[in-house]
Structures are given as structure tokens and as C-alpha cells.
A and B are shown apart, each in its own frame.
Chain A
Amino acid sequence: MTVTPLLPKNAPFAPEEIELLNKVVARTTPQQRSWLAGFFAGFEAAQGGAAQPAAAAKPRVPLTILYASESGNCETLAMKAKKAAQKHGLEAKIYDMADADMALLAKAKNLIVYAATWGEGDPPARAIDFYTALMSDAAPRLDGARFAVLSLGDTAYVHFCAVGIAIDARLEALGAARAADRMDLDLDFAKQAAEWSEGALAKLAPAPDAAASGTVVHVDFTGGGYQAEDDEPQFTAENPLEAEISALVNLNGTGSTRETWHAEFEFDAPGFFYQPGDAIGVLPENDPALVDQLLRASGLGSDAALLLKVQKGFDVTTLSRAAVENYAKLTGRSDVKKLLDGDAFAKFASDRQLVDLFETFSEKLSPEQLLSLLRPLPGRLYSVASSPKAHPGEAHLLVGAVRWASHGKQRKGVASMYLAERRKVGATARIYVKPNRHFRLPSDGKTPIIMIGAGTGVAPYRGFMEERVETGAKGKSWLFFGERNYTNDFLYQLEWQDHLASGALSNIDVAFSRDQPEKIYVQHRLWERREDLQSWIADGAHIYVCGDEKGMAKDVDAALLKILSETAKGDDDAGRAKLKELTKAGRYQRDVY
């Protein structure tokens, strides 16, 4: 994992000194940093000083968590363990046996297995292949690896926990060392399973590192550092960061009418700061197929080098008036020129893209001429869906897939489809930070927050909640979430459940528009809950609205106005004034697009 070697605000220096030091430190290499550490330590020692160098971030030990689950119990336990592993200095990766193979097993040095038994002592359907391979001669030797197995079962069955028992024995037979004794649990497993996981993780955890003892200046390196608001981000659209995509999941369940991608970027770049509420810019690449159409329309079909160049750096979708003007000039075509008369352009351009212009008024062009007509490909912004404190060295985005058809063509959003269709886990993409100072958590953690969002508008609130958990903020919080269908479109459902269970999230209200005959949207829920909302606002709550402007923010704004007017005994002007006042005070913040 990555830690940002920046001095925190509370470092024993004057603010301007901290800023000065950070300017330097931000650009240091690990070697430079350890040299400095050594230097100061040596220096102090030479002076007979007491202070030790600050504790370096503990090296994290890798842990592989495997689960074989049918009805999800083992899966849940595995996920909990992944969370807990962090505390124990373990860097856990979690795999469903359905997605794991012997190669992966061979690599595991520390292994925890959660296995359920099904049928008549059989593995869960999805785990059968892995299980069979494990039991076969194809299974790798595991000498040097350490493992622990927890089996779930039902004592009502003849072959109680058969699968867990078999796996436990097999791992030992393959040469791995048992770090913790296997436990076979019945249907009421929750409590014991939790205790067992703690124990197993403790046994697999690395020995506490020596530096941590003795007199130490404790510095929290896991915090992801901080960045003064007025600092220019180091990574910009001009100077983007090439980040690895470490996760890419369509969060909507099979059968959904939606497609919303959760994308995780991983990087080792100290200077890449962001805060919840910020946006992350993505510099996409065009769909090669579309670029190819464009080149063919200009008689440049065979030019592979040109295709690549355009794909990576030029906007081939936006049909601007300027583009038409330039094309008219360049080609001297009167019919193209006509498009500039009166409302002809608006008519033609609506729901059309550059390729339509080039195809309708096809002309042979030279590569230079073509490029002269294209503008550079702009980045697209995405509200960051993570807190750097919860995910050091990572940034998570929530991206709605954009697809539509017009004028007989299937169209695809450039950036969203770039991530959804043309990027895979392990590939990289160019990203940068777009700070948003007007969409920030209250500086005082005790301030209540009301978070309103539909669809991808929920993204920043995931970051908000993670941030509040990490900073131990005690304020109440309330999420209003809207989408189409409960079963398949409840974005981040499991995480909201965890936040509710831990108390980090106080209230949640949901509006799913297509589950019942009448349409229900977030603004309806706001109105239903207006009494509580009014008292929250009276208690100084901050209100956040994020997501689609046309589709939601408008109506939410109207609903809030209505609610505030009601508070003001039905006086609309008073309501409007109150909303202004809240906005001024930074208590009504919107991140809409």
C-alpha cells in the first residue's frame, strides 16, 4: 500500500514551516526519505538525544482469503475478515473459489479458507472445480505456506462440515502449516466465527515491528496526508497520472435496466491528493471503431498510425458550430456552408456527432487537414467515491454507462464506455484531481449531514461516510438514495448496511421509481420525512445534493423549498430566503451534472 510522506497539520512545526517541508518532501523518493530518516536519527544519537526516528509504516504481510459459499454465509465471513485483516497488518486479497485456481493457491503464503458444505457433504456449486482440483494430483505443494480453515455446516446433515474438514486435511497434506485449528460451525455460527477469525488473523499477523516500541514520535502515515486547500494539485489534465485499474465492477444486478460501474484506481504517487467531494478527471480514449468510421469517411481508412493518434488525443464526437465552419472552409462545400444559415445547424447537430457530418458530406482529406478540424480530447469528471484515509493510494469512481441511439446509429459515451467496455482490470488510465471546494464535509464532525442523491449521485456520499468513519466523526448522518429497482440498483447496498450497523450512518431513505405502479422519487421521500428534516436543519445540518441536474436536482431543490416554506408557515419568500441563507452559509451544497 502507499503512504503519503507528508507532515500532518499537527506536526510540531509552524504552519508555514510544515508547508515548506512538505513542498520538499512531496517530491522525495523512498531512498531520499530513508536517507533523511537515517541522517536525523544518527544526528540525534550523536548528540545523545532521546528521540527515535518516527515509526515507518509497518510492512504489510500478504494474506489470501478464499471462500466456498452457496447462500453467502461464508462469503460474508470472508469479507468481514478482509476488513479486519488491515488492523492486523495484513494486506488481504479475497477470492470466491469460483474465481480462483491452483496457480493462485500456489502463490498464497498466508491463507484463510471459509468453506460451506452443501448437498450431501458436497462443496457449493460454484466451488466444485476448485475443490476437485485441490483434491486431485494437480494440486501444488504448499510447503512454507500457513493456513487456517473455518467450515460452515448444518448438524442436521449427515456429512456435517465435510467440505471444510476435507480442505483442512488436504492443505496440511500438501505441506502447508496449520496456523489456527479448524472450527466446524452450525447454522448459529455468527459469534464463534467472528472470534475464530480474530484469532486466526492474529496468528497469521506479522510480529509487531521493533521500531514501534520505545520512545517514538507517533505519526499517522495511513491517513493519506492532507493538502492545504490552496495548493495546486500536482496531477492535472495536462499532467495526468497513469493509474492502474485495480477493480472494475458493474454494480447493477443481472436483469437491471441500469449499468453503473465501480472503478478503483491504484497508484503509488504521494502527490496525488484528493478529498471526499472532489472530482477525479479521466482522460479517455476514443472507440477505435468510431475513429475508423471517421477516417474512412475522409478517405484515410488505412492509416493505422493516424487512427491511434486520433483515438488517444482528439475529440471525434462533439459536433460544434466551429467544426462545421472549419469543415465548410476547408472543403469549400456550399451545402456544408448552408448548415450555418439560421437554425440549420441546430437542426442538423441535434443528436448528431462529427462522424455524421463527415459521412453526410464525405470529402477526401489529408491527415493534417483532418487533425486541423479536431480539438483535443477533453477529460470527463467523476465525483470521487472514496476517502483516501480509508483507501490510501486508491481513488474509486462510480461511472454510469452512457449509450443511446440516434439517426440510425448506436452511440456510446466516450469516457464511460472507455472504462466500461474498453478497459480491463490491470490496465491503466490517465486520471487527475479536480478539487471541489464547494462540496465538502463540515469541518466539525459533530455537524449533522443530509445526503441526497440518485443514481451515480450517491458516489460522493460513499467517500463522505468513509471519511467520517476514519476521522471518528460523531455527527448524525442521513442518506436519501433513489434509483429504479430495489433488487438490482441499490448501489453500495452492503456498505450502507455496514454503516447503519456501526452507527456511522443514522438514517437511510430510499426511493425506487419502478418497483410499484406509482413513481416514487427522492423528492417524495424528502416530503414524507419533512418533520424530521426540519428539526435536523434547525440543528444546523448541512444538506448535500448530488447527481443529475435535469433528472433530480431540480425537483429536490423544489421539494426543499416547499419544506422550508412550510417551516416558515407557508411563506414561500421566507422559504426561498432560508434556502439562500443556507447556501451562503455553505450548508446547502450541490454537485450536479
Chain B
Amino acid sequence: MTDKRAKNEIIKEQSRQLRGTLAEGLLQVETGNIAEDDHQLIKFHGSYIQDDRDVRGERGKKKLEKAFSFMIRLRIPGGLMTAKQWLALDTIASTYANGTLRLTTRETFQYHGVIKSNLKRTMQAINAACLDTLAACGDVNRNVMTAANPHLSKVHKQAYDLGKAISDHLLPRTGAYHEIWLDGEKVEDQSRDANKGEEPLYGVHYLPRKFKTVVAVPPDNDVDIFAHDLGYIAIVEKGELIGWNVTIGGGMGMTHGDLNTFPRTADHLGYCKPEQAINVAEKVLTVQRDWGNRENRARARLKYTIEDRGLDAYRTEVEKRLGYKLGKPKPFVFSGTGDPLGWRQSIDGKKGEDKPWHLTLFIENGRIKDRPGMALRTALREIAELGISEFVATSNQNVIIANVTAKSKAKIEAILKSHGVSLDISSRLRANSMACVALPTCGLALAESERFLPELITALEDGLDKAGLRDDDIVIRMTGCPNGCARPYISEIGLVGRNPGLYNLYLGAAFDGSRLSKLYAQDVGKDKIVQLLQPIFLAYAKGRKSGERFGDFTIRAGYVKATAAGNKFHADIKLA
């Protein structure tokens, strides 16, 4: 009988635990590319081979191969970095990458434009900063996101500790990473043991697909708990963490025109005690490892395993492997998914003591670079040089300058000001915006995203003014393709690229990230998008109930139907 498994399954199987021919490929000087199968394997090491799509048209004529370079994604559980690490990362950006740091939607960084001859030394420089990239991509548990800023409260610290522990516990154990990038030397990070070559948890096939874990602390849902394979919601009584609600089966990715693929909000699996949390993560992951679809990668995420096997069956199997039952989920309340921008002081801490301060900076689409008039990268570098703060990458592509004393606030503000970095954002719509990378680096992009959303928002802001909504929180997110890297399907306004200049417009998601949106208009360009949203802004400004969110209003006012569950995402669509 023929092997029906997806190609990647065989590649993994034959890769000698992710080694493939990566080492050999790095030595091939005539090409900036690597072997076809290694394209898949290098992801597990935290890197992607890409090419500059802006120049594709000219390369062949110039007798040049595609403009290949590598994207490198770091693994930074909870997004927490020391000032020293920030400086190291900043230096790498200009030494080996394209001079920018790219905060992602999952609390870490990406470099773009690292060419093959610099790949190894970049990895070593990252390692020298006591950070790594292992499992930042690939069919494994990815970088774990936790409620932004461990310094905010005791519970936030506990959430961070859990995320870090899970990230380490579920990390691949292969020695390939050290062999290929670090010449076998050991990382200053106890989480890994280079001698243990093979994978007790993952085996030779790893997972059927990527696996994403997050930890939230209500009332903030900044990590978008419902968008991930596995989630933990802190349950707190009188300021003390008593346990976690566990969610599974969230995910965004889908394929245009394939109704069997759809975004899905996570379900509640149950409730567990703090000391059980790591074990629960392991069991949820191993069930997906054993049950997940290994024939069709488009249906291989945990969300589809639940669609196919049912939530109860999944829970039963997890409990069987745990050897005990999970509790009933406890009540909690989420207020929203955004980052509270500006200065914020730690919540708890002893009376009278000078509680630390934290400045959340809005970084448009996460791109940290120096522009004429706004030297953002330099500003952050100078702040890091002071050595008086830590840094936290958030799940909204923003950065927090964390843990500074009241006295230092002025110093930091002065540096930002001197480099043209302002703390006030043109509108709350922009403050609540995210766009994925897309062109020119993303090989899957069908349309612009990061390079287009800012100007679209500027165009929308006139409409906001007419409706007097400049200061109202409305969440807008854009991606260049249906994979949903900026989580557009749980955004009150979602724009998903289909063709150059054309997007699908989704409305009706819940402000707190608990409900998916619904397709409202197809293949609309900039002007049409503005035309369509303008009247809805006006109607909302006039007709909203007190406290009613934009997403809820668009449903009540009948622009779109509510999407009750992922498998209803493509149902009862009525295009404008």
C-alpha cells in the first residue's frame, strides 16, 4: 500500500533528528539557497529561507538566482529580556540582518535578510546573548506567550514562570542545533542537555504541525487565549493564584476557497491546579502528537483533531494519560486584547514602597528601525544602554520598557523625545492595529500588509473624525494571506489579502477576543474599504448602546451574522 503521509512526515523521519543536510548546505558558496528538504528542517532551528519578492522579476534576467536570505525568529518565553540582551540583539540587527528588529505577534523578535554566509555567526551571536532560536518555528511547541510583563504583579510573574517552564519542558532535545550552529558547544541555558541526542517527547516525527501555547491573566486577554492550540487562564482569589483554566483547539490559519479549513476559537478543556499545569501541557501535546492528522497538513492542527474526534474524546484521553480528572472551568472576565499603552505601575507590592513603573510603547506593526524624524531603534538602544530597565515584547507587536523607578521615568521620556518618538498615537484605531509582515519577505503573501496598513488607517481616520470616534477603541488587524498571522479573524475589523491590492473584509469579532468575525466584503481595495467602513462608523457613533463594542454593534445592526464557532465561520455569509 502506498504511503499516504504528508511529505514533511517523511522529511522529518529521514532527517536524523533535524540534521538533514543543513551543515553541508551552509558550505555551498555558489548558492544562497539550501536543499529543498532542508527548507522544512531549518524551521525547527528557528529560521526560514526566504527571497526578496520585490526584485524577483529582475533576477533571472540579471543571471542572478533569487535574492535569498534567512529570517531568524528568536525563542523568548514571555518576551522578557534584560537591557544587555536588548543591546546584543540590536547590534546583531545591523551587523548581520537588514538593520531592523521585528517584534512579532507572539512576544519575540525576527531578523530578516541574513544571508547564508552570515547565518551561523548570527546564531552564535544570539547564543552569546544567552538566547536561542530552537523551536521558534517547526512542528513543535513554539515560543510560549504569557500575559505581558511579569513585573506587573505576583500572578503575572507566576504566569511567566509557567510559560517559561512549559517552553523548556516541551523543547526538542536533539543535539542537531548545537552541532550545526554552535559547533557542539553548550548553551548557557540549563533547559537543554546536548548529549541526549534523541527525543523522548517528539520521537523522529515530531508533531503533525505547529503547536502554540499561551498563558493569560484576566482581565487582560492580550495573548488572545482563544487563538492558540493550548491556553492557560489564571484563576485568582484575593490576589492569590489558585489554579488555571485550560483551553485547547484555537487557531487562525485557513486556505482561501477551502471550506474544510477555518479559524477556530479554543474550547475549555477544564481546570487544573498550579502544580499540575506542566504535566497537563505535556499530555495535551502528546495526544495531538498521536491523534493529529499526518496526511493532510492543511488539517493537521489540534483544532481539527478536536473537530474530527470531539472535545470529550480528547479530554478523556488527556485525563487517561494524566491519571486524574480535570476540574470544571472557573469563571473569569476578560476586558480586551490590546496593550494598555503608556506608563503603568505594578499592581501589587508592599504598601508605601516605590512600586516599579512600566512604559508600554506602541510600535507600528512591530518594526523597529530608524526613520527620518523618528529614530526609534536608536532611542531604544540608548535606553538599554542606561541599564536601568528590562524589556518585554508583547503579543501585540509592542514593547514594554519594564521595571524602572519613578525617578528614571523622566530620563526615558527625554531620550524618546529627543529621537522623535512620541507617546501619543494618531488614533485609538491605530493603537489597536496589527499587521503581519507579508511582502517582501513572506513567501506566502498574496498582498501587502505591514507596508500598507499604516496608510489605510490614515485614510480611515477621516471617517473616524466625521463620526467622532478617534478616541474609541476599535481593533483592526491585517494579514497578507489567510494564514492569519496577525489574528485577523478575532479582530473587530479584519482584512485578509487575496490578491495584490485586494482584501477580504471581516467584521463582528468580539473586542475581548472570544468570538470570531464573519466575511463582510470580498476583494476590496483601499478606497472601497474606506467607503464600506465610513457609514458603519457613523451608524455606530449614532446607534451604539452605552459601552457597546464596535464588533458587537456590527452584528446587532445586521451588517454580519455572529460566528458561533469555527466550523460556522463560512456559514450564513451575506456580502455587502
Contact = CB atoms under 8 A, between A and B. Distances in A.
Interface string A478-494: 00000000111011111
Contacts of A255: 55
Interface of B: 29-32, 51, 54-69, 95-96, 115, 117-118, 121, 255-258, 298, 443, 446, 498-500
B330 to A, nearest CB: 42
Contact of A71 (B61, B255, B256, B443): B443
Nearest to B61: A249
Interface residues of A, number: 45
A439 to B, nearest CB: 23
B118 to A, nearest CB: 6
B347 to A, nearest CB: 44
Contacts of B62: 249-253
B29 to A, nearest CB: 5
Q: Is the interface of A mostly helix, strand, loop or mixed?
A: mixed
Nearest to B66: A72
A159 interface: yes
Contacts of B59: 72, 253
B31 A497 contact: yes
A119 B446 contact: yes
B498 A120 contact: yes
B56 A490 contact: no
A494 B64 contact: yes
A361 interface: no
Given A72-B66, A495-B63, 17 more contacts: A71-B51, A119-B498, A157-B255, A158-B257, A251-B63, A253-B64, A253-B67, A254-B55, A487-B69, A488-B64, A488-B67, A490-B64, A493-B65, A494-B65, A497-B31, A508-B30, A516-B117
A134 to B, nearest CB: 18
A325 to B, nearest CB: 47
A492 B30 CA distance: 11
Contacts of B118: 515-516
A559 interface: no
A96 interface: yes
B570 to A, nearest CB: 13
A14 interface: no
Contacts of B96: 516
A212 interface: no
14 contacts: A71-B56, A71-B66, A72-B59, A75-B60, A120-B257, A156-B298, A249-B62, A251-B63, A253-B59, A486-B117, A488-B64, A494-B60, A516-B117, A516-B118
A125 interface: yes
Contacts of B117: 486, 512, 515-516
A515 B60 contact: no
Contacts of A492: 63
Contacts of A79: 60
A70 B499 CA distance: 13
A30 interface: no
Nearest to A493: B64
A337 B400 CA distance: 72
Contact of A125 (B67, B68, B258, B500): B500
A487 B115 contact: yes
Contacts, number: 94
Contacts of B257: 120, 157-159
B64, B121, B256 interface centre (most CB from chain A within 10 Å):
B64
Given A262-B63, A496-B30, A486 B499 contact: no
Nearest to B64: A493
Interface string A502-542: 00000011101001110000000000000000000000000
A122 interface: yes
A486 B68 CA distance: 10
A56 interface: no
A488 B29 CA distance: 14
A76 B65 CA distance: 10
B61, B115, B499 interface centre (most CB from chain A within 10 Å):
B61
Interface string A228-262: 00000000000000000000011111110000001
A297 B68 CA distance: 51
Interface in A550-569: none
A497 B56 contact: no
Nearest to B298: A156
Contacts of A71: 51, 56, 66, 443
A126, A159, A493 interface centre (most CB from chain B within 10 Å):
A493
Contacts of A512: 117
A253 B55 contact: yes
A254 B67 CA distance: 10
Contacts of A262: 63
- Among all A-B residue pairs, the 4 with the closest Cβ atoms: A158-B257, A75-B60, A494-B63, A251-B62
A510 B30 CA distance: 8
A429 interface: no
A310 B257 CA distance: 66
A57 interface: no
A497 B51 CA distance: 18
Nearest to B113: A487
A253 B63 CA distance: 10
A500 interface: yes
Contacts of A509: 29
Contacts of A493: 30, 63-65
A488 B65 CA distance: 10
Nearest to B54: A254
Contacts of A70: 56
Nearest to B55: A254
A251 B452 CA distance: 30
A249 B118 CA distance: 29
A170 to B, nearest CB: 21
A319 to B, nearest CB: 36
A119 B56 contact: no
A366 B298 CA distance: 81
Contact of B32 (A125, A251, A486, A516): A486
A497 B60 contact: no
A98 interface: yes
Contact of A515 (B61, B65, B66, B115): B115
Nearest to B60: A75
Nearest to B121: A516
Given A119-B499, A486-B32, A492-B63, A96 B57 contact: yes
Contacts of A156: 255, 298
A496 B30 CA distance: 7
Contacts of B31: 497
Contacts of B29: 508-510
Contact of A487 (B32, B58, B255, B499): B32
A296 B31 CA distance: 52
Nearest to A509: B29
A496 B28 CA distance: 13
A189 B68 CA distance: 21
Contacts of A510: 29-30
B481 to A, nearest CB: 9
B446 A126 contact: no
A335 B277 CA distance: 93
A126 B57 contact: yes
Nearest to B57: A126
Contacts of B67: 253, 487-488
A152 B84 CA distance: 49
A516 B96 CA distance: 7
Given A71-B443, A119-B499, A120-B498, A254 B58 contact: yes
B119 to A, nearest CB: 11
B32 A253 contact: no
B36 to A, nearest CB: 9
A322 B409 CA distance: 72
Contact of A98 (B57, B69, B255, B298): B57
A122 B63 CA distance: 27
Contacts of B95: 517
Nearest to B68: A487
A579 to B, nearest CB: 27
B202 to A, nearest CB: 25
A76 B118 CA distance: 27
Contacts of B446: 118-119
